[in-house]
Chain A
Amino acid sequence: MIPALGLLVGLAVGLFLHPAVPLALQPYLPIAVIAALDAVFGGVRAVLDGIFNDKVFVVSFLSNVVVAAFIVFLGDQLGVGSQLSTGVVVVLGIRIFSNVASIRRHLFRA
């Protein structure tokens, strides 16, 4: 409950403060969002499995974001940034859908 409230507070902060993102960081934002979603759904699934661990959650989120950003950065240097972004999105998207399917089984037994 409290983390959900924190999420809402964060959304409100982002919406109202409207922080300016440097242009150099903008290509990494979509990847960071996907990585964050992956961590969030993985955390929710762990809560439902009864094995949630806050340290693992934080570390998985940070490492997801860092590795995804690094892959995109590397791709930009090699001239295949958009392809590698697509790869990251596909892999994390599959993980998100699998986790959501597991959450769905927990919640609706279906």
Chain B
Amino acid sequence: MTSGPVGRPDQSMTLINEVMQSPLDPGYAAAADSRLRSGLSPATGHRSPLLVVMAVLIGSLLATSALALRAPETSASKVKAFLVGRIEASRAHDEAQSRLIAGVSREIDIAQTAALSQQNQTGLAAELSRLELAAGTVPVTGPGLVLTLDDAKTEVDPKNPVVDPRAATGPDLGKVMATDLQNIVNGLWQSGAEAISVNGHRLTSRSAIRFAGEAILVGPRPLTRPYVITAIGEPGSLIVDFADSDGGSYLQSLKVNDKIRGDITERDLVVVPGEPALSLEHARPVRSAVTKQTRVPTAATATSPTPQTTETSP
């Protein structure tokens, strides 16, 4: 850093100049100069044992630092990974078991039909399929309607863009509640619907629509919005009766007052899936002529592990 006779304009920044312009150790140049003066070549060889030892030392330093300082897994992230793994494993297990159930119940159906037809119990087979249909264990199809329900759009009111922060802590009126679904489904039953499913989950004699935290549950299964209610019923009259029913007026008031989005369309053909896992563990049929009649064929016991409960056979 030689300053000119006038003085450099950047003299006050000697530190930065020093760092930027002479990054090489001046020692190398000085050593080369002294070696030249003593008649040697300016550079030494690259094979001195000292240099090799140094290289080994630097290499091990790099590797050791990388190993020692790599951020170790914190216990929180370990626990999280463990839980995520368990959730995924359980989900996979659930799917596998559901497939197994579906396969086994198909086998049961086939065996049941075979057993009943062998014994010439065609009346019983017809009775069974009629009961299955009514209990909601098999998928059904027919004319009906599709009702889509969704939360109100959460956009800021253009006339009043200042949102009261305290308003967010109160109950959100624009959100679909379990009660809303209950009222609408009840209105559909009332209007003569024969089979109803919500987001592909069949409503049976054991289905409850309820709230758990933020989510609406049908039976044990949580739903995600939008909520699609599929109902089968008499074409024409179902939609009209529903509009007249309590559920219809309830839906109307939801749409008008709370800006909840609801949309009913009539369809010529809708499919309502079955609920294959429907089974009764404790309920027993009251001993009457009808139930005795269904218990007579012993062939049915081959397909049903508990012959006392007529519900488990489908």
Contacts and interface: CB of A to CB of B under 8 A. Distances in A.
Given A14-B60, A49-B28, A52-B46, A57 B54 contact: yes
B31 to A, nearest CB: 4
Interface residues on B, range: 35 or more
A47 B46 contact: yes
B55 A7 contact: yes
Interface in B1-33: 19-20, 23-25, 27-29, 31-32
Contacts of A61: 54, 58
A36 B55 CA distance: 10
A76 B60 CA distance: 26
Contacts of A102: 23-24
B56 A13 contact: yes
Nearest to A61: B54
B68 A29 contact: yes
A15 interface: yes
Given A4-B55, A10-B56, A54 B68 contact: no
Contacts of A79: none
Contact of B59 (A10, A29, A52): A10
Given A29-B69, A40-B58, A2 B25 contact: no
A50 B43 contact: yes
B19 to A, nearest CB: 5
B81 interface: no
B36 to A, nearest CB: 9
A53 B35 contact: yes
A12 B64 CA distance: 10
Given A19-B64, A51-B29, A52-B46, A10 B23 contact: no
Contacts of A42: 23-25, 28
B59 A7 contact: yes
B58 A94 contact: no
A52 B56 contact: no
B28 A56 contact: yes
A10 B63 contact: yes
B65 interface: yes
Interface in A21-74: 21, 26, 29-30, 32-33, 36, 39-40, 42, 45-47, 49-61
Contacts of A54: 44-46, 48, 50-51
Nearest to B55: A6
B159 interface: no
B25 A60 contact: yes
B289 to A, nearest CB: 81
A103 to B, nearest CB: 11
A11 B54 CA distance: 12
B42 interface: yes
A6 B66 CA distance: 18
A91 B19 contact: yes
Given A54-B51, A95-B23, A10 B43 contact: no
Chain B CB count within 10 A is highest, among A2, A4, A21, A39, for A2
Chain A CB count within 10 A is highest, among B24, B32, B45, B67, for B24
A15 B55 contact: no
Chain A CB count within 10 A is highest, among B45, B66, B68, B69, for B68
6 contacts: A1-B46, A2-B47, A3-B52, A19-B60, A32-B61, A94-B23
The 3 A-B pairs at the shortest CB distance, nearest first, are namely A10-B59, A14-B63, A6-B55
